[in-house]
Each structure stands twice: as C-alpha cells, then as structure tokens.
Structure 1
Amino acid sequence: MTAPLQILVDADACPVKDEIYKVAWRRAVPVTIVANSFIRIPDHPLIAREIVSDGFDAADDWIAERAGSNTVVITADILLADRCLKAGASVLAPNGKPFTTSSIGAAIATRAIMADLRAGGDQIGGPPPFRKEDRSRFLSALDELLVRLAR
C-alpha cells in the first residue's frame, strides 16, 4: 500500500497559502505548513502547522526529511527543491512552475551565478514581482499535479 498524498509548504515567505488550502480541501489532501514562527492557519482537519527552531535551514531540513514519492512540496527555495526531488517528491514553486530533475541543475547554476554577482558588488534585481497570473498558474498547476499523483 502506498502512503497517501500530502503537501508540505515552506511557509515563511509563501504567497499562495490560501490557494494551497483551496486545492487541498477540494482534493482532500492534507497540508503541513512549516515555518520558523507562528503562522495562522485555518481551523480544518486537513491543515496542520509545524513550527521548527529558528536554526539555519531548520524548516528545509524538516521538509526534506519527510519528502517522498507521495509528497508535493511547495517552495521557492532552489536548494530545498533539489533535496526534495532527490527524495522522490514533486516540487512546485509558488508561481506555478514545477521544479523537475531535468530543470533543477540549471536553476542551481543560475542561483550560484547570481550569488557570485551579488558578492562581487553588482547591483542586480531580485525575482520579478508576484502577479495575479502567477497565482492563477499556481492554482491550476497544483490541481493538475494532485490529480496526476492520485492516479
């Protein structure tokens, strides 16, 4: 018997928590919101909160240790996405774009280049602002992913 689906959310800076709840309720998939501090969650049996220590990467470690083939991880953190993919999880960014085993290497390389540029004093912009289209793409992508994994 395979373990039931679950959604783990790297929640501290996640802009799509309400969308996650909406899809999880519709698909009856439990969600765990993982954060370093208290985050308000709906009072619902499918939604749980896990508050981890404020140690470096504590939330990432908690999520990565529990990620597996029955898990959807929601994160914008490229290194956490890589760890979860290696554990067999499906990983979705808050903008609705999936992290995959074929795309994660390029994402890690780009992250390293950007970090080097910032360390060298270059003024580079951050990620583009989160838009309504991103929210819509995320809703659709999460729903489609859960349907596919439930088969």
Structure 2
Amino acid sequence: MTEKIKPTLWIDADAIPNIAKQIIIKTAERTQTTTIFVANRAIALPRLPMLQMKVVADGFDKADDYIADNCCQNDVVITSDIPLANDCIDKGARVVTARGFVYDKENIKQKLNIRDFMDTMRATGVLEPHQQGGQAPYSDKDKQNFANILNQWIH
C-alpha cells in the first residue's frame, strides 16, 4: 500500500485576510501540513515547524510567479488572483480563495475572460473608478466556506 503524500499549502499572502490566515495556521498545525506563505514583505507567523515565510523581490506578480513555479500536482493554493489560479490548475494544483470559492478546470477560463474584459473596460475608460466596486467585507459565511474546503482538501 502506498502512503498518500500530503499536499503543500501555498498562500498568496500579500492580501490574505487575517481571519483566513488564522484558519490556515490552525489547519496546518492540526494536520502537520507544510504551509508556505509567499509575499513581497514578511508577515508575522507563529514559530511552528510546518510554517514557512518566503519573501520575494518587490515587483509585479513576483509572489504569484514564485507560487506558480513551485507548486505541484495536488498541492493547495490559496489565492484570489485569477491568472495565478489558472497557472496552478494547469500544474494539477487545487485552488481556493480565502472566501471559499474554488477555481477549477470547469470555471477558470470563464473567470479569466471576465477578468480580461473588465481590465479592457477599465483601460479604455468605459468603467469609472466608482463603478468598479470592491469586495464585500469578509463574512462568517466566507470563513465557514473557506474552512470547510481547506479541511476537506487536507484530509
């Protein structure tokens, strides 16, 4: 019988909500799962052997590039960045946002197309800044969705 290899958790940590960060840390500690936070500045983490902080150079998408280059099949990537999600899915990783939305082969191309369309609309001035909206506050439902997916994928 072959032993199942635990996935590594990769965290796009530049904008991770603190509540989600705490869920990740608790899950990593409970399951003894290697968890790598990647950002262009250090973030405070408890001193636990399974937690790592990878600080990358300043620059556009440096953290994303590091995660995409280093994640492997069956790893879990936590990000809201759609191009990063696409790259990781192409490598066989599973991707979820800190709000518990799962990106997969079934929905990622549509999400990329919508993102690109919205970028074009903003660049051409069709959308004014006040029309672009923003994310709703991190809710208890977001927290529960995220924790459920993370627990399911790690076990």
TM-score by length of 1: 0.91
User: 1:41: which partner in 2?
Assistant: 45
Shift, 1:4, TM fit = 3.7
Out of 47, 58, 82, the position equivalent to 1:54 is 58
Q: Distance in 1 between matches of 2:5 and 2:67?
A: 16
Amino acid aligned to 2:62: A
Shift, 1:49, TM fit = 0.4
Confirm or deny: 8 A CA contact 2:6 2:154 kept in the other structure.
no
Deviates further, 108-117 or 121-130: 121-130
CA RMSD of aligned residues (A): 1.4
Give secondary structure in 2 for the equivalent of 1:91: strand
Residues 1:133 and 2:135 aligned together = no
Give secondary structure in 1 for the equivalent of 2:15: coil
Residue-by-residue CA offset, 1:24-57 (whole Å, 9 max, x unaligned) = 1122211011010111111101111000001221
Shift, 1:21, TM fit = 0.8
TM-score by length of 2: 0.89
Confirm or deny: 8 A CA contact 1:3 1:70 kept in the other structure.
no
Q: Distance in 1 between matches of 2:26 and 2:148?
A: 11
User: 1:88: which partner in 2?
Assistant: 92
Amino acid aligned to 2:79: T
Deviates further, 37-46 or 123-132: 123-132
Residue-by-residue CA offset, 1:49-101 (whole Å, 9 max, x unaligned) = 00000122111111011111131000000000000000110111111111101
Aligned residues: 147
Amino acid aligned to 1:126: G
Q: Distance in 1 between matches of 2:21 and 2:39?
A: 12
Q: Distance in 2 between matches of 1:71 and 1:31?
A: 10
The percentage of aligned residue pairs carrying the same residue is 36
Output aligned runs, 1:21-36, within 5 Å: 21-36=25-40
User: 2:118: which partner in 1?
Assistant: 114
Task: Give the gaps of 5 or more residues in structure 1.
Answer: none
Residues 1:64 and 2:68 aligned together = yes
Shift, 1:3, TM fit = 4.9
Confirm or deny: 8 A CA contact 1:8 1:73 kept in the other structure.
yes
User: 2:16: which partner in 1?
Assistant: 14
User: 1:79: which partner in 2?
Assistant: 83
